[in-house]
A and B are shown apart, each in its own frame.
Chain A
Amino acid sequence: MAQRPDAVTRRFGIAAAFLVVAAIVLACVGIATRVEAGSMLGPGDWAAIRFTIVQSALSAVFSVVLAIPLARALARRRFVGRDALVMLLGAPFILPVIVAVLGLVTVFGRSGWVNVALGTIGLPGVSVYGLHGVVLAHVFFNLPLATRLLLQGWAAIPSERFRLTAQLRLSPRAVFRAVEGPMLRQVVPGALALVFVICLTSFAVALTLGGGPKATTIELAIYQAFKFDFDLGRAARLSVVQLVMAGGIALLALRLVPTIRVGGGLDRARRRWDAPQGWRRWSDSGVIALGAGFLLLPLAAVVLRGVAGLPQMPGQVYQAVWVSLGVSVGSILVMLALALPMAGLIAGRSRGGIEAVGLLGLSASPLMIGTGWFILINPVADPRLFALPVTMIVNAMMSLPFALRILVPPMRDTLQVYGRLSNVLGMRGWPLWRWLILPRLRAQIGFAAGLTGALSMGDLGVIALFADQDRVTLPLQMYRLMGAYRMEAAAGAALLLLALSLGIFWICDKGGRWNADT
Chain B
Amino acid sequence: MKYLTFAAATLCTTAALAETPVLTVYAGDYFTSEWGPGPVIEAGFEEFCDCDLQFATGDLLPRLLLEGTRTKADVVIGLTSDVTAKARATGLFAPHGQDNDALTLPIAWSDDTFLPFNYGHTAFIYNETRMDTPPASFADLLEMPDDVKIVIQDPRTSISGLALVLWVEAIYGDEAKATWEKLAPKILTVTKDWSSSYGMFTDGEADMVLSYTTSPAYHMFAEEDFTKKAAIFPEGHYFMVETVAKIAQTEQPELADAFMAYVMSENFQTVIPTANWSLPSALPQDQWPEGWNELPLPEKVLFYDETQAAALQEKAIEAWRSALTQ
A and B associate = yes
Residues of A at the B interface (CB closer than 8 Å) are: 34, 44, 47, 105-106, 109-112, 129, 133, 207-214, 223-224, 226-230, 314-316, 371, 374-375, 378-385, 464-470, 476-477, 479-487, 490
Contact residues in A for B200 (Cβ distance below 8 Å): 105, 109
The answer to whether B196 touches A207 (Cβ under 8 A) is yes
Verify A315–B34 contact, CB threshold 8 A. yes
Closest to B222 in A: A485
CA distance A247 to B74 in the complex (A): 42
Question: What are some 14 contacts across the A-B interface (CB < 8 A)?
Answer: A105-B205, A112-B205, A208-B192, A212-B190, A212-B325, A214-B324, A227-B59, A375-B66, A378-B67, A468-B56, A469-B57, A484-B30, A484-B33, A486-B35
Q: In the assembled complex, which residues on chain A have CB atoms less than 8 Å from the CB atom of B93?
A: none
By Cβ-Cβ distance, the 5 closest A-B pairs, closest first, are A483-B30, A482-B195, A314-B34, A480-B33, A468-B56
Shortest distance between the CB of A514 and any CB in chain B (Å): 34
Additional pairs, 9, CB under 8 Å, beyond known A476-B29, A480-B33, A482-B196: A105-B203, A110-B149, A207-B154, A212-B324, A466-B58, A469-B56, A483-B195, A484-B30, A485-B218
Residues of B within 8 A of A (CB): 1, 4-5, 8, 12, 29-30, 32-36, 54-59, 61-63, 65-67, 70, 72, 86, 149, 154, 156-157, 184, 187-196, 198-200, 202-206, 215, 218, 222, 277, 320-321, 324-325
CA A75 to CA B32, docked complex, whole Å: 51
Q: Which residues from chain A contact B189 at a C-beta distance below 8 Å? A: 129, 133, 208-212
In the assembled complex, how far is the CB of residue B284 from the closest CB belonging to chain A, in whole angstroms?
Answer: 26
Q: Is A482 a contact of B199 with CB atoms below 8 Å? A: yes
- B30 partner residues in chain A, CB cutoff 8 A: 480, 483-484
| Cα separation A384 to B70 with both chains bound (whole Å) | 13
Complex Cα spacing A105 to B222, Å:
26
Give complex CA distance A469, B25 in Å: 11
User: Are the C-beta atoms of A379 and B70 separated by less than 8 Å?
Assistant: yes
Could you tell me if A214 and B325 are in contact, using CB atoms closer than 8 angstroms?
yes
| A481 and B57 contact, Cβ closer than 8 Å, known pairs A487-B199, A490-B199 | no
Q: Chain B's nearest CB lies how many Å from the CB of A244?
A: 24
B195/A469 in contact, CB under 8 A = no
Residues of A within 8 Å of B65, CB to CB, are 230
Contacts of A228 in B (CB 8 A): 156-157
In the complex with contacts A109-B205, A226-B62, A479-B29, A469-B55 CB distance below 8 A = yes
B-chain residues with CB within 8 Å of residue A223 when the two chains form the complex: 157
The residue of chain B having its C-beta at the shortest distance from the C-beta of A485 within the complex is B218
Residues of A with C-beta under 8 A to B204:
111
Residue of chain B at shortest CB distance from A481:
B33
Residues on B with C-beta less than 8 A from A371 are 66
Instruction: Give the CA-CA distance A77 to B240 in the complex, in Å.
Output: 61
Given A208-B192, A230-B61, also A378-B70 (CB < 8 A): yes
**When chains A and B are docked, how far (Å) is the Cα of A483 from the Cα of B162?**
17
A216 vs B198: C-alpha distance in the bound complex, in angstroms? 21
B180 CB, nearest partner CB in chain A, Å: 10
In the complex, how many angstroms separate the beta carbon of B211 from the nearest chain A beta carbon?
10
Residues of A within 8 A of B203 (CB): 105-106, 109, 111, 487
Are A468's CB and B33's CB within 8 A?
Answer: no
Could you tell me the distance in whole angstroms from the C-beta of A458 to the nearest C-beta in chain B?
A: 16
